[in-house]
A and B are shown apart, each in its own frame.
Chain A
């Protein structure tokens, strides 16, 4: 696509706008404030989420201890892989943590995978149907990644209370990261610890979500930029970046899952 520089800028900016529904006046407005929902993020993530849950549920319903079907074998492979990782970190077989990790890994992977679809395909098709803006990658939306990481954050506090109790949490917040044995020194470092520990805990969901968001946003942006190249230069760059991106989306999904489990484990266990 050889466009005029101004049109190029418009093209990029257009591709970076969400299909945002402003809840004040129920109209599409990409610049809406807090009381709005990104319909594209919501719909794509829900479709993918229900899609994979339906597939997994269908396989699980028919799961047999005998010779498994290929679908079952694949799902079992995935489940065992995740179960092993979780067990290694969490040291106890937790059904919920495992399910959480499985959900995160598969869902995030699928949402990341939307980045590999041709960047103009769905906006073009749905543009004809009257959809003015569309971003196909939910994980390149900061709302999505924060939704996930805040969910994990909430669970972290839940596990903290279950694992350590209120006293345990209070103790941990004033005795770490600086651990001293002198009683007077303890009193001195306690406020410092409280501040640092609070920052440490609050940074966890932020780093978790921004890592995923940053990777996917950058990936999407590069695809958009590649789409601006002349047609003959698009496929080598696009191809190379897509192949490299397969690695990135898998790794990012894996990292998000692993870190979530690690955070939950740290919240639950004394250390």
Chain B
């Protein structure tokens, strides 16, 4: 344990080293660290912000999706309703149409029947007359007529 001048040499060296570190090492490294910390903090803040934005957007999208689904549902329902309505209307119309047709046909038939009846009636009259003519012609028997005429003459 000899104390000698080394002590002072080391002491001065130590203080010079400390000053050197303070001037040329510490601030540069600390600056780099602080700047990086700032960058990281900014990055984290940005990430948080975008995460929030993402959540908001997701909510918006979900809402819009729900709305469009509902809208589509209403449209579908309306379309179905409309379709049933159209079918119903068509059915009613068809029924009416068919009834109209049937009515027309019946009227036609009746008219035809009537016309036929008329024709037949006319034909029957002619036929009757012809028949009668024929009958009369066939039954004109001279004897009988004579007898008849005779009996008539008698009565007179």
Contacts and interface: CB of A to CB of B under 8 A. Distances in A.
Interface string B31-64: 1111110110000000000000000000000000
7 contacts: A36-B2, A41-B6, A53-B25, A72-B32, A79-B30, A143-B2, A147-B14
A238 B21 CA distance: 35
Question: Secondary structure at chain A's binding surface: helix, strand, loop or mixed?
Answer: helix
Interface string A49-60: 100010011011
Contacts, number: 147
A65 B39 contact: yes
B11 interface: yes
B15 A57 contact: no
Interface residues of B, number: 35
A46 interface: yes
Interface in A40-80: 41-42, 45-46, 49, 53, 56-57, 59-61, 63-66, 68, 72, 75-76, 79-80
A142 interface: yes
Contact of A45 (B10, B29, B31): B10
Give the top 10 A-B pairs by smallest Cβ distance, nearest first.
Answer: A147-B10, A65-B35, A99-B22, A143-B6, A63-B32, A60-B28, A99-B21, A147-B11, A143-B7, A36-B4
Contacts of A79: 26, 29-30, 33
Given A64-B32, A143-B6, A147-B7, 12 more contacts: A31-B2, A38-B4, A57-B20, A60-B26, A65-B32, A65-B33, A95-B22, A102-B25, A103-B14, A148-B14, A150-B11, A154-B15
A57 B24 contact: yes
Interface residues of A, number: 54
B36 A65 contact: yes
B21 A53 contact: yes
A142 B6 CA distance: 9
Interface of B: 1-11, 13-15, 17-22, 24-36, 38-39
A268 interface: no
Nearest to A217: B1
Contacts of A148: 10-11, 14
B18 A103 contact: yes
Contacts of A98: 22, 26
B26 A99 contact: yes
A66 B13 contact: no
A196 interface: no
A223 interface: no
B59 to A, nearest CB: 36
Contacts of B35: 65
Contact of A143 (B3, B22, B25): B3
A104 B33 CA distance: 21
Question: Secondary structure at chain B's binding surface: helix, strand, loop or mixed?
Answer: helix
Interface string A136-159: 001001111011101100110000
A95 B28 CA distance: 11
Contact of A103 (B11, B17, B32, B38): B17
B150 to A, nearest CB: 159
A215 B11 CA distance: 20
Contacts of B22: 95-96, 98-100
B4 A32 contact: yes
Interface string A112-135: 000000000000000000000000
A75 B29 contact: yes
B32 A102 contact: no
B13 A45 contact: yes
B25 A147 contact: no
A76 B32 contact: yes
